[in-house]
């Protein structure tokens, strides 16, 4: 029975009423590596009850590069991670002794916790269901159509609709200019 209780407590998220969210300034590009190292140190030192959550705020975005469409995670705050922890001398030492962590974002001598409302807003922003499309196209730019009925045609970008992932290209067809609406993945830069 004792083993069953231990297993159940491991699965449950640790709740510490003294834990608050803090912002750490870290080396840009190393957010996930620092999160991993921090998790390893928490495990090794047995501080799961003091440092209860680590968050690298990301949002999924659809990008189009070289005519290929893919979903990527885009960091909302590059160079920063959020840590929910009880701040004391031991947790302070662990945070400040990891390479790549520049320190807490603070106002005076002590780090100031992030208001819970701001953390909730960040988490809601991360969960936006429809990812927004990103393209490297600009209006007036010359492009080549790579797929569809007008494959191999060359035209200029007339409109970009990032919400739908569509682009309107003006091509010369049968001696006239005609606008053609395409997916971002159906065009490439010249």
Structural domains of the chain, count:
2
CA distances from 21 to 30, 57, 113, 185 (A): 20, 13, 5, 40
145 and 127 housed in the same domain: no
Domain termination site, one of 86, 114, 132: 132
Q: Considering only CA atoms, which of 41, 17, 31 is closest in space to residue 76?
A: 31
170 and 119 housed in the same domain: no
pLDDT in tens, 90-100: 999 999 899 99
What percentage of the chain carries pLDDT values higher than 90? 42
User: What CATH number does the domain containing 159 carry?
Assistant: 2.30.30.30
The pLDDT value recorded for residue 108 is 75
57 and 94 housed in the same domain: yes
120 and 30 housed in the same domain: yes
Q: How confident is the model at residue 164 (pLDDT cuts 50, 70, 90)?
A: confident
Give every CB contact of residue 38 below 8 A, 6+ residues apart in sequence.
51, 54, 83, 94, 95, 98
User: What CATH number does the domain containing 32 carry?
Assistant: 3.30.70.940
Tokens describing residue 69: 């469409």
8 and 68 housed in the same domain: yes
**Which pTM does this prediction carry?**
0.64
The pLDDT value recorded for residue 148 is 86
Q: How confident is the model at residue 30 (pLDDT cuts 50, 70, 90)?
A: very high
Any idea how long the chain is?
A: 190
Question: Whole domain around residue 125: which residue ranges?
Answer: 2-132
**What are the residues facing 167 on neighbouring strands?**
160, 182
The pLDDT value recorded for residue 180 is 93
CA distances from 14 to 3, 85, 157, 171 (A): 18, 11, 53, 60
10 and 76 housed in the same domain: yes
Domain termination site, one of 85, 100, 132: 132
90 and 124 housed in the same domain: yes
Strand order in the sheet with 187-189: 176-183, 166-173, 154-161, 142-145, 187-189
127 and 166 housed in the same domain: no
The pLDDT value recorded for residue 173 is 86
């Amino acid at each position: 029975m004792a083993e069953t209780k231990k297993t159940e407590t491991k699965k449950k998220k640790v709740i510490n009423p003294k834990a608050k969210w803090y912002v750490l300034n870290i080396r840009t590009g190393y957010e996930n590596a620092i999160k991993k190292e921090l998790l390893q140190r928490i495990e090794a030192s047995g501080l799961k009850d003091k440092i209860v959550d680590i968050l690298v705020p990301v949002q999924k975005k659809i990008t189009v590069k070289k005519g290929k469409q893919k979903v990527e995670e885009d960091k909302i705050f590059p160079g920063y991670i959020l840590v929910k922890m009880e701040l004391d001398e031991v947790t302070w030492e662990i945070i400040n002794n990891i390479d790549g962590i520049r320190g807490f974002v603070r106002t005076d001598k002590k780090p100031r916790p992030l208001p819970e409302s701001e953390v909730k807003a960040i988490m809601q922003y991360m969960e936006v269901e429809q990812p927004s499309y990103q393209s490297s196209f600009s209006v007036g730019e010359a492009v080549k159509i790579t797929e569809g009925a007008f494959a191999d045609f060359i035209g200029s970008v007339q409109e970009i609709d990032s919400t739908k992932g569509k682009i309107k290209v003006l091509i010369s067809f049968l001696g006239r200019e005609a606008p053609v609406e395409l997916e971002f993945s159906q065009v490439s830069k010249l």
